[in-house]
Amino acid sequence: MHNAGGGDYYRDVSGTVSLVPKDSPSVRIESLTRHSREPISWLLRQPRVALYCWDAGFQRYSLDIGGSRVETERASGSLTLIPPDLKASGEFYCHPTTQYRAAFIDLSLFEDRGRFTLSQPLASFTDQPLERSVKELFGWRDDATYNLMAEGWALQAVARIRRIMDGVHKPTIVKGGIPAPALRRVEEYVHSRLHEIISLDELAGIVGLSIRHFARAFQTSTGKTPARFVQERRISRAKEMLAREHVSITEVALACGFSHAQHFSTSFRREVGMTPSEFRHAHKS
């Protein structure tokens, strides 16, 4: 049993293993040889993106990735991407000796679009340039150039993965809503810009999706349309200001993203059942 982790993170894999690591601030890459005559059980949750490249001995696996079941054969692809903070568990069916590489990538290296690309599970896909680059990175000389090489590799890897997800190839993408880390970034963006006009295009851009895909995925995750979500946040902010701050109705309206006081009053009454003035009077301390 190989165990690596701490706190809420873990990596428990059965069998005996020899592991050779190579580290940089942005990427940890490992070359592993695992020995087991039984199916290899696997339980993983890591703070970094995990990209696995199966080299030899792998036949098929049955995995649960973030609650979605994936069954695949070796012939369908030698790469698997598991996002950070996502639990993955299951069994690998292999020859007695299996060789593979694992790259753990720090998300802080990327802007929002890159982070979203790496927050979606991608099972059993093939990309020969990416596979070759994993091997090249591990074989790079361990000198002053390695950290720069690792960072450059990570940026190129996310570009290739983005291209694959956009449909150049047809991998097994674990479907569903927006992953929790990406959804939090959308929520934080909305919260910080309630005083502004917020477009659907902006929100979709944060997570690197088309408007149509984003709207569908967002509703799957939250049970609300993006427009409803933003409107509820605006009204919630307005209620807080009316109850606690001594500012005019017009100032509250502008601070919450409404174009003028009348628009605000109409929207507020429709949502709350009373006018802003009535709400303020009812909540005077």
153 plus 200 within the same structural domain:
no
51-105 tens-digit pLDDT: 988 888 777 777 787 767 776 765 446 788 888 888 888 888 888 888 889 999 9
Cβ distance 9 to 82 under 8 Å?
no
Question: pTM for this structure?
Answer: 0.59
Cβ distance 204 to 154 under 8 Å?
no
187 plus 230 within the same structural domain:
yes
104 plus 186 within the same structural domain:
no
161 plus 21 within the same structural domain:
yes
Say which CATH number the domain at 231 has. Answer: 1.10.10.60
165 plus 190 within the same structural domain:
no
Residue that terminates a domain, selected from 130, 155, 173 = 173
Residue 160 has a pLDDT of 85
Residue that terminates a domain, selected from 173, 205, 239 = 173
151 plus 192 within the same structural domain:
no
186 plus 146 within the same structural domain:
no
Give buried/exposed letters for 58-74 (b at 16+ CB in 10 A, else e).
Answer: bebbebebbebebebeb
108 plus 149 within the same structural domain:
yes
184 plus 113 within the same structural domain:
no
Average pLDDT over residues 111-136: 79
159 plus 202 within the same structural domain:
no
Average pLDDT over residues 153-170: 76
Residue 77 has a pLDDT of 60
Average pLDDT, the chain: 83
Alpha carbon distance 181, 179 (integer Å):
6
240-259 tens-digit pLDDT: 999 987 899 999 999 999 98
* 163 Cβ neighbours under 8 A, 6+ residues apart: none
Residue 169's pLDDT band (cuts 50, 70, 90) = very low
Check residue 90 and give left, alpha or beta (phi > 0: left; psi -120 to 50: alpha). Answer: left
Residue that terminates a domain, selected from 135, 151, 173 = 173
Residue 176's pLDDT band (cuts 50, 70, 90) = low
Q: How many CB atoms lie within 10 A of CB 139?
A: 9
Domain count of the chain?
2
Residue 62 has a pLDDT of 79
18 plus 74 within the same structural domain:
yes
Domain that holds residue 7: 2-173
Cβ distance 255 to 234 under 8 Å?
no
71 plus 206 within the same structural domain:
no
Say which CATH number the domain at 134 has. Answer: 2.60.120.10
